[in-house]
Amino acid sequence: MRKLLRIVIAALVVLAMTGIAIAEPQRLVTQDFTTGGYKFLRNPSFPGDFKLGSGNTEIRYDRSENTLLLEDNVILGFGNTTAAPDIYMRWDGTNLDILSTATDESPAIHIGVNTAGIDLTLYGATTGAKVIWDASDDALEITAPGFLVLVPVSADPTGSTEGGLYYDSDDNKFYGRNDSTLVEFGASAGTPAGSDTQIQYNNSSSFGAITNFIWDDTDIVVLDDQDFAFGTGKDWKVQYDEGVDDQLLWLSAATTAGATTDPLYEIIVGASPTADQQVFGIAKGTNSLTRRV
């Protein structure tokens, strides 16, 4: 027995002289681990709760909740040094930040790899509203009642970036960048002018109505006593004159022939009409007058 006791004492002396510390199992569970603290003879395991740090900068594991908790502003860093990790994450009490110590945009976050993507879903506050990156469909999907909003700006932010889109708050229009050209699209149709059936026209970038030119769901109708003009100078006009015996008038309002041999009104049937082809006819009842060529 005395021999065994001497062996144990000798072993403890050797351990003390070599600087190897023995930590009690219970203290491994509850004691803070700091620089210069405990040294482990092998990979440690923690059968219960534990914490690293102190105060409000702790990392704690709660076995009953199966939760590893990083307190506010505790940094989880990747790469470089603890003072300046290349990429780091933290919860600041309000937001989860993913930050970089780089001074440019070189760091990147990849989700999945080429040809082996991962679906990503962002949920809204309303039932059913979400944005989905569907890797199998190679598509970004917005499900109703979710929708896409382009925040209005007062100047073109696209520069020369082809495919850029924006909404201009000054003129309330959508624009897209097509190569070096800025294209307006999705302009509002506005409200038609005038009354039902009246045909519309561009009246200084607004709708205007032609009151005497209508579509009655069957025919295009020019109303009574209205001129239908031809030529830039309104050289010829056609008018249905309701006020004078229902006449259809052909009016040479601003045209005169250059020579007496040049007809003002001419029917041209082509260079080689069929023999004895009737060109026009005038009839009243059973009596008719025709002109052949």
Q: How deeply is 210 buried, as exposed, middle or buried, from its count of CB atoms within 10 A (0-12, 13-18, 19+)? A: middle
Looking at per-residue pLDDT, the higher value among 248 and 1 belongs to 248
DSSP 8-state assignment for residue 194: S
pLDDT recorded at residue 266: 78
For the residues 269-281, what does the mean pLDDT come to? 74
Q: Identify any residues that bridge with 39 across adjacent strands, giving them in sequence order.
A: none
Residue among 7, 38, 6 at smallest CA distance from 21: 38
Does the structure show a pLDDT above 80 at 41?
no
The larger pLDDT score, comparing residue 26 to residue 120, is at 120
Residues 93 and 53 in one domain: no
Q: Is the dihedral of CA 250, 253, 255, 261 positive or negative?
A: positive
CA–CA separation, 237 vs 249, rounded Å?
A: 8
3-state secondary structure of 16: helix
Average pLDDT over residues 178-195: 77
Residues 39, 42, 43, 49, CA torsion sign: negative
* Whether residue 82 sits in one domain with residue 65: no
Q: Residue 11: which H helix or E strand, with range?
A: helix 2-18
64 and 12 part of one domain: yes
Residues 28 and 62 in one domain: yes
Q: Is residue 287 part of a domain?
A: no
pLDDT greater than 90 at residue 21: no
Task: Assess if residue 47 is contained within a domain.
Answer: yes
Look up the pTM and report it: 0.48
Q: Which range of residues forms the domain containing residue 255?
A: 224-268
Q: How many structural domains are present in the chain?
A: 4
